[in-house]
Structure 1
Amino acid sequence: MFSHKYFGKELGHLIGGKSVPPHSDQMMPSFNPATGEVLAYIPEGTAEDVNLAVAAARKAFEGPWSEWLPWERHRLFMRIYEVIEQNFDELAYLTTLDIGTPITKTLGMKQYALKAITYFATQTTNIGGQTLPNNIGTGVMTMTVKAPVGVIGGILPWNVPLVGLWWLLGGTLATGCTIVLKPAEYATMTILRLVELLYEAGLPEGVVNVVAGRGGVVGQALAEHNDVDRVVFTGSVQAGRKVIMASASNVKRVQVELGGKSPDIVFADAPMELAVPGAAMAVYNNCGQVCTAGTRLFVERKAHNEFVDKLVKFSRQMRIGPGIAHDTDMGPLISQGQLDRVMSYVDGAAPEGATLVTGGKRLGGDLSQGYFVEPTIFCDVRPEMTIAREEIFGPVISVIPFDTEEEALRLANETEYGLGGAVWTQDLSKAMRMINRVKAGTFWVNCYDWMDAGVGMNGYKLSGYGGKGGPTHMDNFLYQKSVYINHTYSGDVPPVGAGLRA
């Protein structure tokens, strides 16, 4: 059985490279969602803790870290690569016990993490501006340069700590920014341990800080803080709106990734050997607790019955159990509260006219102490039903039939969200039409939820703004200066403002 130095302990924040006791003596339990047992106790951070962490981050940003050259930051990434590679199994098991994701999945995140570290390492030496022509005079040189924006506030979700963290750490370390992280209450241990490993790799004091606690306190304090230059939030639409409003205190930069209700479109000509497991795991992955989950499954009517039969068969073969078991396909939901939420949607679907074809029950027996629910499929779902409109964040699929390509597009776009989407077809022209017309920031063809740091992901509509990863990712951590250089030192210099319109 996996054990860890954190288990049974009261943990502290990680500020200035050291474990720091919380300003308040209030602690909250961190539960194993598979058993309901307490793993450790997490500090309930306060605004005072945030002030201390932001001050440490600002000191590091203005101090020696600001003098690190690109090649030195690149070398740090390479040391981080080695440390994370050597300790990834520990992080994977800790994450599995912390949030319930099957160990085969968390161990499988190793390659993603290492590839992300490698990608962001390359970006350290890939930051530059431009020399630009001007209409002022031959004695003037004009150009742009890019500089780190400063202290970042990162408010993290609990569902994918081993993956989601690198979107923030990569940009922060590559550009020379510093950061204060607020982990989710349910996934604090993974973040604390991972940041400890960064310091073991040689990270300077104060560059990355962690303040644990509740979103309404720590997250709010970060979003409001006048010495935080940029805030990044992943979570619900309701909480995202509060972050956006709080950011107005100093008009800080904001990036938000919010909810999703992604359309997954299956045409009759789809490669069924890919589409059936692909559509299933687009929802069952991480027990449906993924923002991009393809919970609105649109199936062309002439393939509907066959596809649903195969989907039900696949669902019933899923092995449900504690994530720590290597034969588990789907683990528990994160908490009792999330279980209650998911079951409220399941229980409310039939009264609205949906037909339950498989699943729909909380698991008992040996699993009764955990937060387990069966993989669930509803048919006869209409677009206006609650389960087809609202984000459930659980393993619940709503199957909606369609007859034509135009109908599929209309149904796919009838949502206030726009995070992800997918199409399954062997017709390339049809796939391209879907890519161009489905309103989503990230889109997959004959696959689902594939992700690469060098390509990234984006949101649209209520799903947020400010993409993660890809060629423009570093710009989120930089600001641009326009520079004018008088290199003649002669009396021929135009008067101030000469280049401006009258």
Structure 2
Amino acid sequence: MLRKTDFYIDGAWVPPTTSKDFDVINPADETAFGVISLGSKADVDKAVAAARAAFDGWSKTPLADRIAKVEKLAEVYERRAGEMAEAISTEMGAPMKLATTAQAAAGLGHIKAFIRALKDFKFEHKLRDDTPDEFIIHEAIGVCGLITPWNWPMNQVTLKVVPAVGVGCTVVLKPSEIAPMSSLLFAEFMDEAGFPKGVFNLVNGDGPTVGEAMSRHPDIDMMSFTGSTRAGIAVTQASAETVKRVALELGGKGANIVFADADVAKAVKRGAIHCFNNTGQSCNAPTRMLVERSVYDEAVEVACATAESTAVGLPSEDGNHIGPLVSELQFTKVQDLIQAGIDEGARLVAGGTGRPEGFNRGYFVRPTVFADVNNDMRIAREEIFGPVLSMIPFESEDEAVKISNDTSYGLTDYVQSGDSARTQRVARQLRAGMVVANGAPRAPGSPFGGYKQSGNGREGGQYGLTEFLEVKAVSGWTTTS
């Protein structure tokens, strides 16, 4: 049993002010494999005080020196990436291949991308060529509170910690208490990289206690949160008292529009696999598949076959299978929503309630496909966060766009078409922060974030740096030679 009850504050591992043990559950067998301690407001106060004391010196540290620390972090992370993959797999159930090639790899990829962005970013520049005496300065916003989720732990930790410390902020991180081991390991990486004490701090805890204390804290200048829309609203409300900046990356209910002029079989299979990836626990998953009526029956057959061929297995095993959901709470939620789809009259064509054959414990679920869904059903409107695909037919391009946009979310939508003019026309109309056309991969540094209740921030690359910067305009600036 791993016992990791200390917090990382002011460059040292320190015990909690008041011990409150919390079991970390392996979702594959429902047993505790580790123990952390849930922090308190007093622990947050200590971490914030350390970050505040470190801010002045760190923000004035030359950019080249800050970049050198991030480069050292990349070296440490790369050398210990195997440990990171194992931690992620055990805590949240990602199969080892996914944990290695996607989950842990995403963190390293973001670190390297931010190094490039930091080297290219102009922190000081003229407003315009015709205003030589008006200067713009981008300055670190201050102490940042960072709250990260369990579904892609290192993806989100690095998208927040690295740009924040890179531009000169100091941070207090609260990872998800459900999957905290990877972040505790990341704290070891930061320590080994030699960041000055107080620049990076970590306090474990739950949202209502530690998250609330961070959001309300008068000495935290910004909150950056990734998680559910409900929790994001709570962070925003608590942060309003001190008028701090709040950046949110929240849920999604991505529409995947498949037109008849696409390679339908390829597009549907790719979309279903993407929906099931990470056991459906991705905010940008294409969970609503909208298919043009003339090819709808073919698409349903392909989606059904894809679900039935999607293997479910233990996280510790190698392969392309999917693992369990992260927790009993998540398992119950997904089961309830699958049952809701059945009760509301959607046509179940693959999967369904209950565990897959061969499993009598663990939070494993069956890859599920519903056909003949309408956009008023719960499975079309709520973020399920499980491997559940809802298929909706449409007659026209306008109807497809209307259905896609008829959601409170607006994170990632997808378009499949052989007509590039149509693809671009539809992409412009979709109310989403990201649109993926015909399976094209997103480039490193491309901004990640959404519209509406999917949030208000952008992460990654130069867009991710500006999240943590204030903009100062100085008139009467005289350039010296």
The equivalent of 2:364 in structure 1 is 372
What residue is the counterpart of 1:54 in the other structure?
48
Verify: 1:460 aligned to 2:441, yes or no: no
Residue range with higher mean Cα deviation, 302-311 or 175-184: 302-311
Matched, 1:44 2:30: no
Name the counterpart of 2:192.
200
Name the CA distance, whole Å, in 2 between partners of 1:420 and 1:239: 20
Match of 1:428 in 2: 420
Alignment of 1:91-490 (within 5 A): 91-109=84-102, 110-125=104-119, 126-132=121-127, 141-272=133-264, 274-363=266-355, 366-447=358-439, 450-485=441-476
Partners of 2:377 and 2:55 lie apart in 1 by 50
Maintained 8 Å contact 1:10/1:27: no
Is the contact between residue 113 and residue 461 of structure 2 (CA under 8 Å) also seen in structure 1? no
Contact 1:319 1:330 in 2 (8 A): yes
Structure 1 residue 484, shift from structure 2 partner: 3.1
Q: 8 Å contact 2:265–2:299 — kept in the other structure?
A: no
Q: Deviations over 1:458-479 (max 9, x none)?
A: 2101111021124332221111
Distance 1:369 1:146 in 2: 52
Distance 1:391 1:381 in 2: 15
**Deviation at 1:270?**
1.6
CA contact (8 A) 2:310 2:322 kept: yes
Alignment partners' CA distance in 2, 1:462 and 1:390: 12
**Is the contact between residue 258 and residue 264 of structure 2 (CA under 8 Å) also seen in structure 1?**
no
- Given that residues 59 and 167 in structure 2 are in contact (C-alpha distance below 8 angstroms), is that contact kept between their aligned partners in structure 1? no
Q: Residue 408 of structure 2 aligns to a residue in which SS?
A: coil
1:306, distance to aligned residue in structure 2 (A) = 1.1
CA distance in 2, matches of 1:134, 1:452: 31
| Count of residues paired in the alignment | 477
* Whole-angstrom distance in 2 between the partners of 1:267 and 1:486: 55
Choose the corresponding residue for 2:26, options 28, 32, 39.
32
Are the aligned partners of 1:134 and 1:142 in contact in 2 as well (CA < 8 Å)?
no
The structure-2 alpha-carbon separation of the partners of 1:173 and 1:10, relative to structure 1 and needing over 3 Å to count, comes to closer
2: CA distance, partners of 1:268 / 1:156: 39
Alignment RMSD? 2.0
Higher Cα Rg, which structure: 1
- Look up the SS of the partner of 1:373 in the other structure: coil
Letter in 2 for 1:37: T
> What is the distance in 2 between the residues matched to 1:336 and 1:487?
62
Contact 1:177 1:207 in 2 (8 A): yes
The AA in structure 2 aligned to 1:131 is K
Name stretches of at least 5 consecutive residues in structure 2 with no aligned partner: none
Code of the residue aligned with 2:405 in structure 1: it is: N
Q: Is the 8 A contact 1:301 1:403 kept in 2?
A: yes
Q: How far apart in 1 are the matches of 2:90 and 2:464?
A: 32
Cα distance in 2 for residues equivalent to 1:464 and 1:113: 21
Q: Could you say what secondary structure the match of 1:421 adopts?
A: strand
CA–CA distance in structure 2, aligned partners of residues 280 and 453 of structure 1: 24
Using a 3 Å threshold, how does the CA distance of structure 1 residues 388 and 226 change in structure 2: closer, same or farther?
same
Query: Secondary structure of 1:393's match?
Result: coil
- Kept in 1: contact 2:264–2:295 (CA 8 A): no
TM-superposed deviation, 1:453: 4.2
What are the superposed Cα offsets for residues 185-241 of structure 1, whole Å, 9 maximum, x if unpaired? Answer: 111110110121121011111111111011111111111110000101111222111
Q: Deviations over 1:427-453 (max 9, x none)?
A: 1011001110011011100117x4444
Paired amino acid for 2:47: A
Q: Deviations over 1:34-85 (max 9, x none)?
A: 111111112111111111111111111123x234211111211221111111
Equivalent in the alignment of 1:493: none
Q: Aligned equivalents of 1:167 and 1:153: distance in 2?
A: 13
For structure 1, the residue ranges without an aligned partner over 5 or more in a row are 1-6, 489-502
Q: Which moved more, 1:366-375 or 1:438-447?
A: 366-375
For the structure 1 residues 8 and 111, does the alpha-carbon distance in structure 2 shift closer, same or farther, using more than 3 Å as the test? Answer: closer
Q: What SS does structure 1 have at the residue aligned with 2:78?
A: helix
Tell me how far apart the structure 1 counterparts of residues 167 and 431 of structure 2 sit (CA, whole Å): 32
For 2:448, give the aligned amino acid: M
**Conserved in 1, the CA contact under 8 Å of 2:156 and 2:226?**
no
Task: Output the CA distance in 2 between the equivalents of 1:319 and 1:85.
Answer: 30
Amino acid across the alignment from 1:457: F
Contact persistence 1:322–1:328 (CA under 8 A): no
Once residues 222 and 445 of structure 2 are traced to their aligned partners in structure 1, the CA distance between those partners, rounded to angstroms, is 22
Alpha-carbon distance change, 428 to 487 in structure 1, aligned in 2, over 3 angstroms: closer
State the one-letter code of the partner of 2:88: T
Give the conservation status (yes or no) of the 8 Å contact 1:76–1:201: yes
**1:131 CA drift (Å):** 2.3
Q: 2:62 aligns with which of 45, 64, 69?
A: 69
Alpha-carbon deviation of 1:415?
0.8
Q: Once the 2 structures are TM-superposed, how far is the Cα of residue 124 of structure 1 from its aligned partner? A: 3.0
Aligned to 1:82: 75
Cα contact 2:165–2:171 (8 A) shared by 1: no
1:20 to 14, 19, 22: 14
Work out the percentage of aligned pairs sharing the same amino acid.
37
TM-score, length-normalised on structure 2? 0.95
Distance in 1, Cα, partners of 2:408 & 2:68: 43
Amino acid across the alignment from 2:366: E
Partner AA of 1:90 in structure 2: E
The equivalent residue for 1:8 is 2
**TM-score, L = length of structure 1:** 0.91
- Aligned residue for 2:390, secondary structure, equals strand
SS at match of 2:362: coil
Q: Deviation of residue 112 (structure 1)?
A: 3.4
- Equivalent residue letter for 2:229: V
CA contact (8 A) 1:74 1:122 kept: no
Mapped to 1, the partners of 2:299 and 2:358 lie a distance apart of 32
Distance in 2 (CA, whole Å) between partners of 1:105 and 1:73 is: 31
